[in-house]
Structure 1
Amino acid sequence: MTTRNTVIRSMHDVGLAVWCGGGLMGAIGLNGAANQVKDSKDRGATASAGWARWAPVNAAAIGMHAIGGIGLILANRGRLAQQDGVAANTAVKAALTGVALASTAFSGWKGKIVAEGGQFDAKGAVIPSATTPEKVASAQQQLRIAQWVTPAVTAIIIVLGAAQGEQQRPSQVLEGLLSRS
């Protein structure tokens, strides 16, 4: 593997790891910690402030992953065309990346609604109380599920990336090329 390909692979993998890990830490750590804030009117604002600080890093990670992914596709276009299983894995990864992008955007949209709610009573970052404003409560309920989608989907992409790494072993390349013949 050339230095250029190593850089491309690293961008792709590190970007994905940050995207996945950040979403998981946010759902467990940030939202979980916000649930413990003593004043129930500060729980939503606390989580929103943390997610706002994370958003630029997350965007950079997604960009790194995307640039690296495009670079890998270009660098491996011969294997994509010739080796059995590589194109299918790449197509599934691309589709799941679209799902992860959509879930990230959806969570950002709903998170903005929570942030714009200002100070309101809530049981937790994504758990409304009986007195949480209706629009904010709806966004929180949707985020309660959505917060798990991005880390779950990006974790699957990590596994598919590992499978692609295995497909690059010389024995796998030969087997994949022979099975296409």
Structure 2
Amino acid sequence: METDTFSRASHDLGLAGWFGGTLANAVALNKAAGAASDASSSGRVANAGWDAWTPVNAAAIGLHLVGSVGQLVGNGERVKGQQGVASMALVKTALTAVALGATAYSRVLGKRVSNAEDVPVSDGTTPSTSTPADVAAAQRQLKVMQWVIPAVTGALVVVSSFAGEQQRTSNVVSGVARRAFGR
């Protein structure tokens, strides 16, 4: 497989896993944990699911980053010569940094919840009246963060799609001409 093809595939597959898995867990796992037989089991189920997802998510993120760097290196001349490509690369880099930060912060919060082990909760992101205060605070933050990551990675999917359109021959020619002739 060519480097460009490998980079694009790595970028896209990694991003798909990061976006899709996080969205699925937010939509299904956290709520499903609330269906456990008791409040302590709800926490255990949510923790088991998120702890199982973490290494897969890390691999998806790593694959995405390898592909992103490969694309940036492979498109170095386009970044320099085609109007709009450098800006697009900067937007993608910024969104990736935000998504990485949100993912890391969510993992810190998730570890705080997971380390509490059989703590009673209503579901994966909703404390019960008997949830310890530190775990309840982490859950309330996770309730927000579970949507931040799919929102930002979803924005990355959209921007990446637009960036792909910049590679069409007609867009390359007009972008290089605009850069060269200042229009």
1:161 aligns with 2:160: yes
Aligned pairs (5 A) from 1:136-151: 136-151=135-150
**Quick one: which amino acid aligns to residue 4 of structure 1?**
T
- Matches of 2:43 and 2:144 in 1, distance apart? 16
> What percentage of residue pairs aligned between the two structures are identical?
45
What is the Cα deviation at residue 92 of structure 1? 0.6
- Matches of 2:78 and 2:36 in 1, distance apart? 52
What SS does the aligned partner of 1:89 have? helix
Corresponding residue of 2:45 = 46
Shifted more, 6-15 versus 119-128: the winner is 119-128
Q: What are the Cα deviations for residues 88-111 of structure 1, in whole angstroms up to 9, with x where unaligned?
A: 011011011011001111111101
What is the Cα deviation at residue 131 of structure 1? 1.4
**Quick one: which amino acid aligns to residue 71 of structure 1?**
G
- Matches of 2:106 and 2:113 in 1, distance apart? 10
What is the Cα deviation at residue 10 of structure 1? 0.1
What SS does the aligned partner of 1:36 have? coil
What SS does the aligned partner of 1:147 have? helix
Corresponding residue of 1:111 = 110
Task: Give every structure 1 segment of 4 or more consecutive aligned residues whose post-TM-superposition deviation is greater than 3 Å.
Answer: none
Task: Give the TM-score normalised by the residue count of structure 1.
Answer: 0.96
What is the Cα deviation at residue 4 of structure 1? 2.1
Corresponding residue of 1:120 = 119
Report the number of matched residues.
180
- Matches of 1:11 and 1:179 in 2, distance apart? 31
- Matches of 1:83 and 1:42 in 2, distance apart? 56
Corresponding residue of 1:37 = 36
**Quick one: which amino acid aligns to residue 86 of structure 2?**
A
Instruction: Give the unaligned 5+ runs of structure 1.
Output: none
- Matches of 2:89 and 2:43 in 1, distance apart? 38
Aligned pairs (5 A) from 1:6-45: 6-45=5-44
- Matches of 1:70 and 1:121 in 2, distance apart? 43
What SS does the aligned partner of 1:123 have? strand
Instruction: Give the unaligned 5+ runs of structure 2.
Output: none
Is the Cα–Cα contact under 8 Å of residues 39 and 128 in structure 2 kept in the other structure?
Answer: no
Corresponding residue of 2:134 = 135
Task: Give the TM-score normalised by the residue count of structure 2.
Answer: 0.95
- Matches of 1:152 and 1:44 in 2, distance apart? 25
What is the Cα deviation at residue 121 of structure 1? 2.1
Corresponding residue of 1:59 = 58
Is the Cα–Cα contact under 8 Å of residues 8 and 72 in structure 1 kept in the other structure?
Answer: yes
